[in-house]
Amino acid sequence: MSIEIEGKTVEEAVKAALSDLQLPRNKVKIEVLSEEKKGLFGMPGAKPAKVRVTLK
């Protein structure tokens, strides 16, 4: 079982996934699919981080 989730940062996405799965970090494998990207000078174009969290 695995889920993919986005967040403003990688850490935020991981925390959200662990909360959804109700599992501690040591029971899952975390794969970063994409890092967050910030928009120039706060302009649109920012992209969220995306992770895949899989049950070990």
Q: What is the pLDDT of residue 42?
A: 64
How many structural domains is the chain composed of? 1
Output the average pLDDT for the chain.
91
* pLDDT exceeds cutoff 90 at 51: yes
What is the domain-level CATH number for residue 23? Answer: 3.30.30
Q: Pick from 33, 32, 34, 29: which is nearest to 53 by CA?
A: 29
Task: Tell me if 36 sits within 8 A of 6, measured CB to CB.
Answer: no
Please give the angle made by the CA atoms of 13, 17 and 3, to the nearest 5 degrees: 105
* pLDDT exceeds cutoff 90 at 1: no
Q: What does the alpha-carbon distance between residue 32 and residue 17 come to, in Å, rounded to a whole number?
A: 12
Segment 46-53 shows an average pLDDT of: 93
Residue 15's domain comprises: 2-55
Q: pLDDT for 7-45, tens place per residue?
A: 999 999 999 999 999 999 999 999 999 999 877 776 666
